[in-house]
Amino acid sequence: MLRAFDELCIEFAKRAGAFNSWFENVEENLTDPITSGSVQEVEKRFLDHDKDVREVKSEEASLVKLRLLDEKIRTEAKIEDNPYTWYQMGELESIWDMTGTRLTERMKDLEDEKTRQVRFDEMRKQFADFANRFAEFINSIRNKLHSNAHETLEEQLHNVIDQENAIRAGKRDLDLIEKLNATMEQELIFDNEYTKHSALGLSQSWDGVIQMCQRMQRSLKQQIEARSKTGISEERIQEWRECFEHFDVDNTGLLDFIGMKSLFRSLGIDLALKDGDQESDDFLEILAQMNLSCESAVSKDEFISYMITRETTQVRGKEDIFVAFKAIADPEKPYITEKELRSNLTSEQAKYCLRIMPLYKGADAPMNENTLDYHKFVNEYFK
């Protein structure tokens, strides 16, 4: 009989140790910090929790068996302290109660985490909505800046000014995006599956469009001034613009150096071949004159500004212009005739001079010829 009672105590000790080990493993799972990065990850945690609930329920049979053994040891064997284990039935009951508490706490933690991730997801969606629309807005401004090539220079300048005003007004939306981003960073939200745009990237794009507008305005103003002072027609400038666009197959407003050399050659500007990995000296000199805003590409406005400069480099000041007109006019007379202009200038240049040059009103002006005052013209237009 004593041996049978001893075997009961040993069985209880074995089962109690196994029950406690099971509890330690379950408690570790139920108290492990909940780390998730999305609503979907929390949903997976709920599924894992359901498995834990089923496991705990299935383990209740082990507790029932321990209760029966404990009752038998105490009532039949009259043994209050099991010599083979320090676990008491009361302690095992407390462990079981603790397991239920851990399950309840875990469910609450998961619900709180889901609420938090739903809120984070709404923040991501809100940021993405503003970011995506702002990126579309920036692209629309870029497209408008590149789509006015066939307008007059004045119309292009007016359009660029309008677009700069529009992009500057959009700073309010950018400020909101940056504020939303700062709030997300405070919550340690750094990923966003709803957009490929970041606050930093959008800010850089916004600043880049502002700089583009300013460069284009400077270039257009230079072109308008050059047209007025040098006689370079708008048609000629438009020809350069169309040549650039022909090689700008991606419509980016930029050409890399290979594309630029092809463009120059199409215009009859011969360039030496590269010497190994080094660009030729004449091409490097051209790049230096352009004062590029981009390290490895040339913008359309930089190209046109260079071509204007190239067309006018032969005339560097008043005296040069006086000398040029004197060379085609009678040096003994203070005027130039229409016939002399048409005989010595291109049709385009002659038309420009006849349109803008004032008539000569001196007493020695011949009656039967159209004479123009090139002295007054030079003094007024080349200061």
DSSP 230-247: H---HHHHHHHHHHHHHH
pLDDT score recorded for residue 126: 96
Contacts of 70 (CB under 8 A, 6+ apart): 12, 89
pLDDT of 317: 60
Q: Assess whether the region 2-126 and the region 318-381 belong to the same CATH fold.
A: no
Report the distance separating Cα 290 and Cα 298, nearest Å. Answer: 8
The domain defined by 232-312 folds into Recoverin; domain 1 (1.10.238)
Q: What type of residue is 224? A: I
pLDDT per position in the chain (383 positions), as tens?
678 888 889 999 999 999 999 999 999 888 888 888 889 999 999 999 999 999 999 999 999 999 999 998 888 888 888 888 888 999 999 999 999 999 999 999 999 999 999 999 999 999 999 999 999 999 999 988 877 667 788 888 999 999 999 999 999 999 999 999 999 999 999 999 999 999 999 999 999 999 989 988 988 887 787 777 666 777 778 888 888 888 888 877 788 888 888 888 888 777 766 665 677 777 788 877 776 666 678 888 788 888 887 776 655 566 777 777 888 888 788 889 988 888 888 787 788 788 888 898 888 888 888 899 988 888 776 65
In contact, 16 and 87? CB cutoff 8 Å: yes
Predicted local distance difference test score (pLDDT) of residue 194: 94
CATH level 3 topology of 318-381: Recoverin; domain 1 (1.10.238)
DSSP 235: H
Task: With CA atoms as reference, report the closest residue to 193 among 123, 134, 139.
Answer: 123
Q: If residue 299 lies in a helix (H) or strand (E), which one and from where to where?
A: strand 297-299
DSSP 329: S
Closest among 116, 127, 66 to 91, alpha carbons compared: 66
Q: What is the predicted pLDDT for the residue at 273?
A: 61
Nearest by Cα to 163 from 112, 214, 199: 214
Q: pTM here?
A: 0.62
Instruction: Specify the DSSP element, H or E, that contains 336.
Output: strand 336-337
| Domain covering 2-126 in this structure, CATH number | 1.20.58.60
pLDDT of residue 352: 79
Give the per-residue pLDDT at 3.
82
Q: What Rg value do the Cα atoms of the chain yield, rounded? A: 43
As beta bridge partners, residue 336 has 372
Locate the domains of the chain by residue range. 2-126, 232-312, 318-381
Beta bridge partner(s), residue 275: 278
